[in-house]
Amino acid sequence: MATHQFSRAAYDRLKAEFDDLTTRGRIDVAEKIERAREEGDLKENAGYHAAKDEQGHMEGRIRQLEHLLENAEVIDDQRVYTILYEGDSDDMAERYVVGNLEEQVEGADVISASSPLGAVLQGSSDGDTLSYEAPNGSLTITVLKVESL
């Protein structure tokens, strides 16, 4: 069962990053480690330790990407919500995408579907006035615009 929903663009970007890290990335880090080994004493070799740290971070990202991609569902109906909080002026409107934090939409922040705002936005339409419970109390928003990507 898919546990991570992504737009096609986000899925393709993550897949490309995974492919790059598992090929070129691993080769580059292995070469850095080999060059650092040639410098001698590994105990006090900063280049060697830096390359090993880079390798560890990269392998962690590879495992993360592998998990995301194995459990991914590509959704065709990605939406951007433009909202305005009650009492704010029109120039304070905010744009949000409800989805996985790996999404990237220029000019919009990404929020989780399980967050109070994310939960209330799903299924909303232009002009809807919605309220939700935030940690600091009840907030009311107006959905100015819902755009499909």
pLDDT in tens, 70-112: 999 998 888 999 999 999 999 999 999 998 889 988 999 999 9
Which option is the CATH number for 4-74: 1.10.287.180, 3.10.310.70, 3.40.1280.30, 3.40.50.970? 1.10.287.180
Burial environment of residue 149 by CB neighbours within 10 A (0 to 12, 13 to 18, 19 or more): middle
Q: Does domain 77-148 have CATH number 3.40.50.300?
A: no
pTM listed for this prediction = 0.78
pLDDT tens readout for residues 53-70:
999 999 999 999 999 999
pLDDT tens readout for residues 103-121:
988 999 999 988 999 999 9
Amino acid of residue 114: S
